[in-house]
Structure 1
Amino acid sequence: MYAKIITAIFFSALFCQARVLSLSDEKFASYFAVEGGSSLLKTTPFDENIASVDSYSDEYKVGMGGEFGFVYSSPYLAWRFSFEILKPSKLKEVQGLASATAQYTVDSDVTAVAPKLGLEIHLNKKTNNRFYLFGYYGSSNLTMTHAYTGVVSPNSDHTVEAKGSAAEMGGGLGFEMSFVDTTSFVIEVGYRSLIFKEIKYSKDVTTFQGAKTVGETLTNLNGENRSLNFSGYTASIGFRFWL
């Protein structure tokens, strides 16, 4: 009887023992990460509507986002397949000012999503940590909604909905280290290039510049296409769950 108990305890301990993570030997992981960085958007999503407006009470200052996906790794290289969401905080009741007098207010919501393919080059092969270079390419899709409320006549209330698409690429340096059990902790710093150069109305609307129809390109007061720049330096932290 005691022999059976000892045998049962032995095999229970054997099967319950945690697997030791060896980054140089791991093959497949799921992961997620959050990122932040300075934003070049500023007021570009909603400015250039009325000639008299010369400043705004708020702007996009910080870029924020997240990413989730899968990693397939070898000792020297790793492939990343991921889905990225860039979502700066919504702006509420931003005032368009003409000589400090509000002409209208706007609520601004901007989102860009992108499937991405990435490559990592491992710079060392330690079992518990490693540095790597990474690069990626993707196709990003933009959606934005701006709800304008007129303060001074003849400015009228309306909501602009628009969409766009653009190629995205970037790269940088990453560091991965063992964290808990088969989970690793990842830090990355890098640069993203992403500019939406052509954005089109996705809903008919009468704006400060007149009537606009679906498919018509958003323009500034000078007639040039409105563009949104999500490029910039980024930093992210995340976790990988090795299988």
Structure 2
Amino acid sequence: MKKPPKYTQVEDYIVNRINTGQLKVGDQIETEEQLAEQFGFSRMTINKALNKLVEQKYITRISGKGSFVTSSHVTKSLEIQSSFTEDMRSIGLLPESKLLSYELINSNEIPEISKKMNLKENVFVHYFVRLRTGNSIPIAISYNYVSTEVLPAINIEALNYSFYDYLKSINYTVIGSELEMEAVLPTPIQKELLQIDQGALLLSKAITTVSFDGKESILGYFETFYNGNIYTYKFNR
């Protein structure tokens, strides 16, 4: 019986270990060097096998660190909205946030975004950038614009945790979001933060509405860049 191609043998070996529970989400697999020595194949063959596994969303490759199992994958419906925290918990990962920057900016500095948020002139906006992780693996970067007219003050420390949970704790109810999705190429900074070498990111653009004291208002505009190896969005017809 003819043997399958060499790279396929490596793929099958790793997939079998994932499917049998020997490797779990977040576990690191052998390096290219170790697999080449184990199978007696060239580094080129091993590299091809690992890239195939990335395409199939079994693993993610992080520059300078290695390859990690990501067989649990988030497939989100555009019609059923959930937070990043809920997404991570749904696939058994510990959701975490890291605040990268925070500042107050004038709405006049961001005319296009101000228009999306229906902001007046010279209104201050909370602008903060966060890195989102699951089991400490970088998964998404969010750029957030929140109206001070709707949310006058923010506990900065709370931005290191779930923003949705924080809103709930101060009696805001998230009603929903208008979403736009597109695939984009990562910037050098995004590659570094998400620790990826290749592939497109999934960009979610959301205008989120909340209710507070019986009044509905546009809270803000949120751009989130997701690692496409972890996230897929679908539209249910």
Q: Same fold (TM over 0.5)?
A: no
The structure number with the bigger radius of gyration is 1
Structure number with higher helix proportion: 2
Q: Which has the higher strand share?
A: 1
